[in-house]
Amino acid sequence: MLREKLQHKNIILASGSPRRQQYFKELDIDFSIQLKEIEEIYPNHLKAEEITNFLAELKANAFNDLNEKDILITSDTIVWHENKALGKPKDYQDAFAMLQSMSGKTHEVITSVSFKTNVKLETIFEVTKVTFKKLSDAAITYYLDNYKPFDKAGSYGIQEWIGLIGISNIEGSYANVVGMPVDKVYDKLVEFTL
């Protein structure tokens, strides 16, 4: 449906995330993947969606050679827990500590998505609240050993084993927790066809 409307546009997804790439395939639109190495550093005073907005825009601004047909899409996700951003874990111990800290508590998963053309840059974000039941150290160890979620913000994937056995409640977009608020991305892409 959207594919025909966007046929005169060149959609570029600047994300190495297999989950985001899969979502774009499922949207049934033509797109290409282009990646640029970015040092993901943000100012310390930023909080919550300010961080993801900043990083999504930082990634978008690495692309300066867009033409009028291009729509560049960049994204960033963090887990926001107890007033702290949890990104991808540094190592096994870091991942274990993150999951332990979220056990029995509610955290927020925040994703920002930037849309850049040759004339403008727009950023949207989504916040989803996720509650873990109490996780045993054995469950956390089993998950880390078998699923190795070291490329994921907050050290977990909701679509994996830990999500099935450990998450007791979710408020908001499930797709956002996987890596992108697809409904909002779709609506924004529709706007480009109007």
**Rounded CA gap, 160 and 101, in Å?**
19
Both tokens assigned to 11: 């959609």
**Would you please indicate which residues are annotated as catalytic (active-site) residues?**
76
Each domain of the chain, given as residue ranges in start order, spans 2-191
Report the CATH fold assignment for 2-191. Answer: Maf protein (3.90.950)
**Whether the predicted pLDDT of 22 surpasses 90:** yes
- For the entire predicted model, the pTM comes to 0.93
Q: pLDDT tens for residues 102-129?
A: 999 999 999 999 999 999 999 999 999 9
